[in-house]
Amino acid sequence: MNPFNYKRRPTVSVNVGGIAMGSEWPVRVQSMTNTATDDVEASAAQCQRIAFAGADYVRLTAQGVKQANSIGDISKVLRGQGCTIPLIADIHFNPQAALAAAAVCEGVRINPGNFVDPARTFKQLEYTDEEYTAELGRIREALLPFIAICREHHTAVRLGVNHGSLSDRIMSRYGNTAAGMVESVMEFLRVFVEEKFLDVVISMKASNVVVMVEAVRRLVDAMDREDMHFPLHLGVTEAGFGEDGRVKSAVGIGALMAEGLGDTIRVSLSEEPELEIPVARKLVDYISQREGHPTIEGDYCEGYDPLCPDRRSTITVDGLIGGNQQPVVIASYRPDQLDGAALQPDFYYSADGLIDGTHRFMVPFAAWKGERNVYPLLTLGEWDRCSTTRLRFLQVPASTPVHRLEFLRGRSDTVLVITPVGKNIPAEQQAMIHALDTAGINCPVIVRNTYADNSNEWLQVKAGADLGAVLLNRRADGVWLEAPNTYSSAEVVRYAFAILQAARQRISKTEFISCPGCGRTMFDLQTTVQRVQQATAHLTHLKIGVMGCIVNGPGEMADADYGYVGAAAGRISLYKGKQCVEMNIPEADAIDRLVALIKQHGDWRDP
Ligand code: SF4
C-alpha cells in the first residue's frame, strides 16, 4: 500500500474463464444481473448487454441448486450467441448451490459469513475455545468438496465478505468490525492455502466507505503477514443510484486503487447493471494513468496509522477551520448559478472581488479591503504584506518545499490551500501534508482541485477518487472543488458535499443505503428507492436502507437506522436498526408505515 506512488500490489494471477486477473493484468470490471436467474432468456439478454457495455465478468445470483443449474443454461445460450463473458454464481446460505454452480460456471462467489453458518441468530454470543475450534473444523469439512469440484472444473472462487453479514462466531470475538471481516475471510483462506487451491479472489464490502476501506487495508496487512497474495475485488455495497452512487463508489474504490489495491472492481448502482460499466471503466482509466508517474517524494509522518488514520491534528483558525471543526466546502462564486441551490458552501471564492453581503467570501489579496466575512487569498510573496490577524488563506502548489513554509509553525491565522501540479493529485497533496506534519507545521489544509471535464460522470469519478482519498485519510480540513467549464456552482457544491458525506466527514443529507438488486429482488428497486427518498430525503440525520430481499438485505444494510426490505412479492418488512418491527406488510402501505415508524421513534422532522 503506497499512497504516494502508484504501483499495483503484486498478486498471483487467477484465471476466470480465460480472463485472468491479478497485478499482471489490467484491472477487470464487472457487474451483476438483476433478472430472475430462472428466467434464462431474460438473464442471457442482460448478460449480453453487460458484456456489450464492456464488462470482463458478469455475476448472477443462485439462491439454490435450480438457479445454479440455470446459469449453466444461460451459459449455453450465451456461448451459442458467441458471447464468451465468464459467468460467476453468487451464493449465500447454500453450499449445495455452490457445488452445483462450481460445475457449470467460470467462478463462484461464496460468503464466509453464511457459507457454513446459518443466518445470524445473535443467540450464541459466547464461544469457548473448543466450540470455536469445532466450528473451524466444520468450515473445513464443508469447503473440501467445494474445492474439489472447483479444482476439477477450473472454477475460480471469490470469497466475498460483507460488513453486516458476519457469523455469530466472528461477531462473538470481533464484533461487527473491519477486523471481524478480515478474520472471517482468513479462516477460509487458510483452508484454501492448505489445500493448495489458489484460484481465489477476495472482496471486503460495506456500504460504509470508511469501514470498507479499513477492512481491505487490514486484509492486505493480514495476508502479507501470512505470505498470501490473492487478488482483490473492490466495491462499495448499496452505494445507491445517480450521482450519490457514483460518488460513493469513486471515493471508496478510488482511494484503495490509488494505493495500488484492486484487481477487479464493481460499481454497485441501483440502476440497470450495464450502466455500472462506464463508471467502473472511467475509474480504472483515471487511476491507471498514474502508472509511470514521476516519483513523488513522500513519507508518512510519525504516528500515522495507514490502516485506520486518525484525523490530522491542526490549529483551529478563527473558530472556522481546522481543529475539531467539520471540513469546510469552498466553491467559486457565480451569482447567476446559485438559484435553487439546497446547499451553500462555507466560503465562496470571488476572483473579481464581487461579494453579496450574505455569504462568507474569499477574494484575491489585490481585491481584499478588510470587509467583515471577507478573507484574503494570498500567494507566498503576499503573505507578510497582509495585516489581518484573523483568517487568511495561503495558496501554494503541492511541489512547494516545506522549509519555505516554516514561518507558519505555531501560527493560528493561516489556512493553507494546496493545489496539484501533476497527474497523481491525491498523492502529491498527501505527501506535502505529511511533510508539514513532520516539520511540526499544523495549520489546517484545504485541497483545491480543478477539473476541465465536460461530463458529470467524469467529474464525479475524478473528484470522488481524488478528494475522497485525502478525506478518507483524514488529512484535509476542507475541499475546494472547481469545474468551471460545464457545471453550475450549485452542482459543484452538491458534489463536494456528496464526497464529504461518502467519506463520512460531514453529513448533509439523508444517507440512503440501497442495494443494486439481483435475481432475489422483491420489488421494482429504482421506483421504490425514489419513493422512499421522496418521503424521507429531508431527514438528514438518518441512514435509511432500501434492500431488495430479506435474505441478505438486513445484514447488508449494516448500520442503517431504518430499513425497508423486500420480504416477498408485494410484501415489505420494516426494520428499526437490526430489529424487524413490521413483517410482511402490503407494499402499497409500506412508505406510510415507514414514516409512522420513524415518527413513533421520535426521529421524524417536518420538511
Ligand atoms: S439485498 Fe439486494 S442485491 Fe443483495 S441479495 Fe438481496 S436483492 Fe440481491
Which ligand 1 atom sits nearest the alpha carbon of residue 556?
A: 1
CA distance 536 to 282: 32
Do residues 415 and 443 lie in contact, with contact meaning Cβ atoms separated by under 8 Å? yes
pLDDT value, residue 76:
98
Ligand 1, pocket-test mutation among 110, 162, 163, 556, most atoms within 8 A of CB:
556
Strand partners, 294: none
Tell whether pTM > 0.85. yes
Angle at 570 between CA 207 and CA 597, to 5 degrees: 60
CA distance 69 to 83: 19
Which ligand 1 atom sits nearest the alpha carbon of residue 34?
A: 8
List pLDDT tens digits, range 6-42: 999 999 999 999 999 999 999 999 999 999 999 999 9
List pLDDT tens digits, range 466-506: 999 999 999 999 999 999 876 677 889 999 999 999 999 99
Do residues 56 and 29 lie in contact, with contact meaning Cβ atoms separated by under 8 Å? yes
CA distance 552 to 557: 9
Nearest CA to ligand 1 atom 4: 552
* Ligand 1 centre distance from Cα of residue 512 (Å): 15
Closest by Cα among 384, 250, 224, 249 to 306: 224
pLDDT value, residue 454:
81
Confidence of residue 311 (pLDDT cuts 50, 70, 90): very high
- The pLDDT of residue 123 is above 80: no
Containing 278, the helix (H) or strand (E) segment is helix 276-288
pLDDT value, residue 98:
97
* Ligand 1 centre distance from Cα of residue 546 (Å): 10
* Ligand 1 centre distance from Cα of residue 556 (Å): 8
Closest by Cα among 461, 32, 545 to 282: 461
CA distance 324 to 184: 35
CB-defined site of ligand 1, < 6 Å? 515-518, 520-521, 547-549, 551-553, 556
Do residues 265 and 252 lie in contact, with contact meaning Cβ atoms separated by under 8 Å? no
- The pLDDT of residue 234 is above 80: yes
pLDDT value, residue 559:
79
* Ligand 1 centre distance from Cα of residue 521 (Å): 6
List pLDDT tens digits, range 45-56: 999 999 999 999
Nearest CA to ligand 1 atom 3: 517
* 32 φ/ψ angles, rounded to the nearest 5 degrees: -140, 140
Ligand 1, pocket-test mutation among 518, 571, 573, most atoms within 8 A of CB:
518
pLDDT value, residue 125:
64
Which ligand 1 atom sits nearest the alpha carbon of residue 32?
A: 3
pLDDT value, residue 122:
52
Ligand 1, pocket-test mutation among 238, 551, 575, most atoms within 8 A of CB:
551
Confidence of residue 68 (pLDDT cuts 50, 70, 90): very high
- Helix and strand numbers, DSSP H then E, in the chain: 15, 23
Give me the mean pLDDT over the 202-230 stretch: 95
Question: Residues for the chain: how many in total?
Answer: 607
Confidence of residue 526 (pLDDT cuts 50, 70, 90): confident
Alpha-carbon torsion (386, 390, 393, 399), positive or negative: positive
Average pLDDT, the chain: 93
Residue 82, exposed/middle/buried by CB under 10 A (0-12, 13-18, 19+)?
exposed
pLDDT value, residue 554:
85
Half-sphere exposure of residue 434, counting CA atoms within 13 Å on the CB side?
Answer: 22
CA distance 142 to 95: 8
List pLDDT tens digits, range 313-362: 999 999 999 999 999 999 988 877 666 667 889 999 999 999 988 889 99
Start-end of H helices in 53-175: 65-80, 95-104, 129-153, 168-174
pLDDT value, residue 443:
97
* Ligand 1 centre distance from Cα of residue 566 (Å): 9
